[in-house]
């Protein structure tokens, strides 16, 4: 899949520059003297405010403030990420807190996700067991892919519960939809995410699972911030990632994650590690909760 380096959603703030462009046609009219006197006065004030800064002109304080504020209080997504020319060919060249972000696995990887030997290699029942799912819970499979974990979770939460199967790729969501329909599964809801937002409902999710996903999020900080907002009190976030600490794990380096790195990144987004399970052959299961 072609991975965009830009977030799919943006603030679209009103800047003095584009407002100045918007009022240019009026300024032209002004020069040709077809504008009534009162309108001319208003246009002079507007041009002055936008050229010299709003705070000096009481007619436009909000516009100038809105343009300046986001820089001070909320850094734009790209400010968190560093782009390096020298990087792993399997990576994106974008770095977050010192580690390179991997490329997203495309829909061509479905056969690999569904491979029969995965049962032995990744032991999904151990993962599901570690999650301790209860009937009636609302859970999310973030980066659900073809649903390898989605449908296992669906049978645990039962008909009174729900699995939100979240992905950014339409092909993955369509595969999930077809498989749910073919098997008469009614407690799986497909959710289309963007690179910065998993589109989960606020304070409504008991547990979020991410299996082999976190290392390839283009905007990990933004996604985890949304995930934290989606958790119910006492909610958990469960990561399954290949062990970076073990050079014998036969997976490309950018697709691995150490517990230390993950813990550092979660801390910056307001999550604390509550448990680590190291019983899988090649991966860790790392569980986080909200820092209260």
Ligand X SMILES: C[S@@+](CC[C@H](N)C(=O)[O-])C[C@H]1O[C@@H](n2cnc3c(N)ncnc32)[C@H](O)[C@@H]1O
What span, in angstroms and rounded, lies between the C-alpha atoms of 67 and 273?
A: 37
User: Would strands 91-96 and 99-102 be described as parallel, antiparallel, or unpaired?
Assistant: antiparallel
Q: Is 198 in the site for ligand X (CB under 6 A)?
A: yes
Token couple for 194: 């963007």
Q: Is 188 in the site for ligand X (CB under 6 A)?
A: no
User: Contacting ligand X (CB under 6 A), which of 190, 206, 216, 241?
Assistant: 216
Q: Is 145 in the site for ligand X (CB under 6 A)?
A: yes
Q: Is 193 in the site for ligand X (CB under 6 A)?
A: yes
Piece of the chain touching ligand X by CB under 6 A; list 38-46, 49-57, 94-102, 191-199: 191-199
Cα atoms found within 13 Å of the Cα of residue 274, Cβ hemisphere only: 15
Q: Is 191 in the site for ligand X (CB under 6 A)?
A: no
Q: Is 113 in the site for ligand X (CB under 6 A)?
A: yes
Strand partners, 11: none
Among residues 236, 239, 210, 222, the alpha carbon closest in space to that of 290 is found at 236
Q: How far is the CB of 31 from ligand X (least distance, A)?
A: 49
**Residues 104, 283, 250: CA angle, nearest 5 degrees:** 70
- What single-letter DSSP state applies at residue 105? P
User: Contacting ligand X (CB under 6 A), which of 139, 154, 168, 254?
Assistant: 168
Q: How far is the CB of 219 from ligand X (least distance, A)?
A: 7
Task: Point out which residues bind ligand X (CB under 6 A).
Answer: 104-105, 113, 142-145, 148-149, 166-169, 172, 193, 195, 198, 211-213, 216-217, 223
């Amino acid at each position: 899949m072609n991975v965009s380096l830009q977030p799919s959603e943006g603030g679209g703030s009103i800047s003095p520059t584009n407002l100045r462009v918007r009022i240019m046609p009026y300024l032209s009219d002004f020069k040709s003297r077809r504008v009534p006197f009162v309108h001319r006065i208003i246009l002079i004030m507007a041009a002055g405010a936008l050229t010299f800064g709003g705070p000096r002109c009481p007619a436009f304080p909000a516009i100038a403030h809105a343009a300046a504020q986001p820089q001070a209080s909320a850094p734009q997504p790209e400010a968190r990420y560093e782009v390096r020319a020298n990087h792993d060919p399997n990576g994106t060249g974008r770095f977050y807190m010192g580690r390179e972000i991997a490329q997203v696995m495309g829909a061509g990887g479905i056969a690999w996700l569904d491979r029969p030997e995965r049962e032995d290699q990744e032991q999904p029942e151990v993962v599901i067991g570690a999650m301790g799912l209860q009937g009636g819970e609302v859970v999310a499979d973030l980066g659900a892919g073809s649903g390898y974990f989605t449908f296992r979770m669906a049978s645990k939460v039962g008909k009174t519960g729900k699995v939100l199967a979240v992905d950014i790729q339409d092909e993955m969501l369509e595969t999930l939809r077809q498989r749910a329909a073919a098997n008469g599964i009614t407690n799986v809801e497909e959710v289309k995410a963007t690179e910065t937002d998993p589109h989960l409902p606020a304070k409504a999710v008991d547990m979020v699972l991410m299996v082999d996903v976190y290392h390839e999020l283009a905007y990990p900080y933004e996604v985890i911030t949304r995930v934290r907002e989606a958790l119910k009190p006492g909610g958990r976030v469960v990561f399954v990632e290949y062990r970076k600490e073990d050079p014998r794990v036969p997976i490309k380096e950018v697709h691995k994650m150490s517990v230390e790195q993950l813990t550092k990144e979660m801390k910056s987004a307001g999550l604390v590690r509550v448990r680590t399970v190291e019983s899988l052959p090649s991966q860790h299961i790392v569980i986080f909760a909200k820092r209260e």
